[in-house]
Amino acid sequence: GAGVSQTPSNKVTEKGKYVELRCDPISGHTALYWYRQSLGQGPEFLIYFQGTGAADDSGLPNDRFFAVRPEGSVSTLKIQRTERGDSAVYLCASSSGRNQPQHFGDGTRLSIL
Amino acid sequence: KQEVTQIPAALSVPEGENLVLNCSFTDSAIYNLQWFRQDPGKGLTSLLLIQSSQREQTSGRLNASLDKSSGRSTLYIAASQPGDSATYLCAVRTGDTDKLIFGTGTRLQVFP
């Protein structure tokens, strides 16, 4: 596609539920990133994939968060036993290389009631 | 630990003014620096990327400079327009990781 696509654009769920957020990167981009942005703040890094493998998952806040990219393209961020503090905008980005810009999707706004 | 600061937090100017947005970072060992624009409810749009070996980059009315040794970058916007109203974010990539570390942004409003 022309840009990074994220679905759903909005997700509202109850505390304790499981959610999956999807990211479809720019075609051919080998690097994929997940960030989380709270209101009035800059995005904070969660996890980075190079191909199918997670090259850096140091930003995942705890073991309720997990992400996969099984075929080196689409990625899914999974959150178990959601808490109200997980409410934020989850942003995905992709890049064609270390010295190339990261291109972002419009994000998924997650609200935990 | 790398920290990125942006000043001012908010700026409101009349149309036509030339603007300077500031970004500072604590660890000068960066790989590159990227400036983004974010419109309300939207994702980030990449504006300019400056490699650590470069001093500046230009795109249209935008010019970004980098002084790595002093830990500073500036985004210069010439002849501002109401359509430039948005939040501007800078982010650095350190040499040992591919993640971006962001500032909290400058919220710009340009009024007619």
Q: From the list A98, A101, A107, which residue is nearest B98 (CB)? A: A98
Q: From the list A42, A58, A105, which residue is nearest B89 (CB)? A: A42
d(CA A102, CA A90): 15
Residue A2 has pLDDT above 90, yes or no: no
Residues 6 or more apart whose Cβ sits within 8 Å of residue A39:
none
Residue A54 has pLDDT above 80, yes or no: yes
d(CA B100, CA A47): 11
Parts of chain B with a pLDDT under 70: 95
User: What would the mean pLDDT of A13-38 be, rounded to a whole number?
Assistant: 96
As a whole-number percent, the residues of chain A with pLDDT over 90 amount to: 90
Going by pLDDT thresholds of 50, 70 and 90, the confidence category of residue A99 is: confident
Using a CB–CB cut-off of 8 Å, the residues of A that contact B are 4, 6, 31, 33, 35, 40-45, 48, 50, 55-56, 58-59, 91, 93, 95, 98-107, 109
d(CA A83, CA A61): 12
Residue A38 has pLDDT above 90, yes or no: yes
Q: Name chain A contacts of B105, Cβ cutoff 8 Å.
A: 42
pLDDT of residue A1: 52
pLDDT of residue B7: 92
d(CA A69, CA A49): 8
Select from B51, B54, B108, B58 the least CA-distant residue to B84: B108
Q: From the list B32, B41, B46, which residue is nearest A103 (CB)? A: B46
Which residue type does A78 have?
K
Q: Show the DSSP H helices in A12-109 as ranges.
A: none
Residues 6 or more apart whose Cβ sits within 8 Å of residue A71:
A52
How far is the alpha carbon of B52 from chain A, nearest alpha carbon, in Å? 10
* Mean confidence (pLDDT) of chain A: 95
Which residue type does A4 have?
V
pLDDT of residue A24: 98
In this structure, of A24-28, A35-39, B95-99, the range with the lowest mean pLDDT score is B95-99
How far is the alpha carbon of A62 from chain B, nearest alpha carbon, in Å? 18
pLDDT of residue B69: 92
